[in-house]
Chains A and B, each alone.
Chain A
Amino acid sequence: MVRLRTSFANYVTVWVVLLHFVLLPALFFAMGYVIRKSHEDLFVEHARTFARVLAEEFEAGVALDSPERTEDLLDLAISHGEARYAELFDRGRSIRSQLGSTGIVAPRHTDLGFAQGGDNIYFIVLPVVRSGHNAELRLGFDEQPTQDRIHLALTRMLWVLASYLTVAVGIAVILSYRLSRPIHQLRNVSRAIASGDYGQPLNVSSGIRELHELATDLEDMRRELVGVNDRLRTKVKEMEISEGQREELQKQLRHRQRLETVGTLASGIAHEINNVLVPIILFTDTVLKDLTLSSASRADLERVLAAARRAKDVVKKILTFSRELDEAKLALIDLRGVVTEGLNLFAALAPSSIEIRTEIDAAIPLVKADATLALHLVINLCSNAYQAMEGAEGVLTVGLRYQERASEGAITQLCVEFWVSDTGHGMDPGTLERIFEPFFTTRSVGQGTGLGLSVVHGIVESFGASIAVETQIGVGTTFRIFFPTTAQAGIRSDTDVPVA
């Protein structure tokens, strides 16, 4: 079944019209009956009174004795009593007023009611009793004027009711419009809310209490939704941040696992190579003891031995590094001293084409680290920077500062930042991804072991510090190491450490 839906205004209007269409005819017929009845009663009353008075006149007076006088009285009924017919019947003789309408035949008895017989005349028949007479007065009153008055009254009433209907429908339309306007506004706002627009405030001022309350409730709901929405947005943002942190942690974990895998392999390979180097070194050594060897063979064997020793050194580097990390003694140290010492060592190696700048803050708190390993760190990073600028002029900047570092969760942490910046060739993303892997190197064979930055990474991890790299091809690279500090760590600024 299809249910017809119409607007509130139409609904109210239709119902008002329907109601009046039922009520107004009923009202019309009821009031019509009253009007008709009162007019008829008045007419009948008048006719009967007049007839009684005339009959008494005949009974009391002498009119019956003379036909002329009888006719005069009957004429009076026509001229003053609104009758159209007047007749006196006495002893078989009939006297009729000549003023009345002709062609009317009176009945022998009084009409039972108004507008009977279809002749538009109300007849009254009265006996006139006087000694010697047995007369009968017959009067006929014209119903037409009364009929006209009734008709006129009904017509007027119809006009009044029609006017009333028009006004009532008009009021209903205006009223329903006034009612439906705030409802429309409420609807618009709730639609806006449903479609996600909570910003539109609700300004419904209705004199109707229920609508006013509904508007107030809706406005409260909207405000609540705005609040909930804001809270949700904050929550989602927080979740996005924590998701970002999780991804970052996972990335770090993957990186760490890869480093560990590579480290495991490296350690295993170191063991194998060491075992292989034992017979190489010892047998070569033994053969070299043979005095009958030609000088050329001896020179060749010396080179075998030298190569084996170099291999031994490479492997030793890995294992020594592991051991150093293993034996790292973390203590609160002043990084300024370590950085200065590292720079002094490095400056002796660096060619004059490289300019070394320092940006070391005066006040740096102590950080938890191992002094020997920290020195390794400085030298490794400086060597790496220098190699990135090899064969060209460049600037190497080493900095140390105490600052707040904002991490992903918008939590700021106090830390000491140590950075080494070069103006070298920079790195592509593929290289950047792998720089901390052991044995990963971009340099040609024999120029580097590829251990430098993995050593840096290992050292940074053993300190519980973190490392970040910024690089741009052709512009340079900056390594930043963040040492977490605690509020308890005192800030050291008593002495200025000279920098070479």
Chain B
Amino acid sequence: MQNILIVDDEPDVRDALKRVLDLAGYSARTAANAMDALAELERIPADVVITDIIMPKINGVQAIEMICKAFPATRIIAISGGGNFGITSYKPRAITTTAYLASAQSAGAHLVLTKPFEAVELIQAIEEVLGVGHA
């Protein structure tokens, strides 16, 4: 049974993802932020980490870099709903979902997914990253 860690600051998003993955037969755990996620991975390594990009303190891109460094075998899926880090840093047409996900990918994410997505899309994404990994 594949071990999956979900990292998102929104409890509803975490729980929804966990529910879908549990039903799909995966062993899913959750973490509310990057530090918790690293501690959790330290405790029990995960096959796949699904992480949000926009999170307080340590954002998703930084978290991906850290996970890639500490756990190179872990597959990473970045998810984002767009928006911006803070209203003061708003640059029209510059920071968009695409930009976040592109930077996540360059930081080491194996796949990116735009929020919101269907359950099917999530399962397909996980199968894809695992399939690529185990091929």
Cα distance, A264 to B84, chains bound together (Å): 8
B82 touching A282, Cβ below 8 Å: no
B54 touching A271, Cβ below 8 Å: yes
Known: A275-B81, A289-B23. A281 touches B116 (CB 8 A): yes
Asked if B32 is at the interface of the complex by the 8 Å CB criterion, the answer is no
A272 touching B119, Cβ below 8 Å: no
Known: A264-B87, A274-B115, A323-B97. A279 touches B81 (CB 8 A): no
Cα distance, A285 to B84, chains bound together (Å): 28
CB within 8 Å of B: which A47-99 residues: none
Known: A319-B97, A322-B93. A282 touches B84 (CB 8 A): no
Pick from B15, B96, B115: contact of A275, CB under 8 Å: B115
CB within 8 Å of A: which B1-58 residues: 10, 12-13, 15-17, 19-20, 23, 54
Pick from B13, B23, B83, B96: contact of A286, CB under 8 Å: B23
Least distance between B50 CB and chain A CB atoms (Å): 11
For the complex, would chain A's binding face be called helix, strand, loop or mixed by DSSP majority? helix
CB within 8 Å of B: which A267-287 residues: 267-268, 270-283, 285-286
Residues of B near A270 (CB, < 8 A) are 81-83
Known: A264-B87, A267-B82, A274-B81. A279 touches B92 (CB 8 A): no
The listed residue with most B CB atoms (<10 A of its CB), out of A270, A282, A283, is A282
One digit per residue, 1 when the CB lies within 8 angstroms of any chain A CB and 0 when it does not, for chain B 60-102 equals 0000000000000000000001111001001011101111000
Residues of B near A319 (CB, < 8 A) are 82, 96-97
Pick from A272, A283, A315, A326: contact of B98, CB under 8 Å: A326
Residues of A near B116 (CB, < 8 A) are 274, 277-278, 280-282, 308, 312
Residues of A near B13 (CB, < 8 A) are 275, 278-279
Asked if A260 is at the interface of the complex by the 8 Å CB criterion, the answer is yes
Residues of A near B98 (CB, < 8 A) are 323, 326-327
Q: List 15 A-B contacts (CB under 8 A).
A: A263-B90, A268-B83, A270-B82, A274-B83, A275-B12, A277-B81, A281-B16, A282-B16, A282-B20, A322-B92, A322-B96, A323-B96, A323-B98, A326-B98, A326-B99
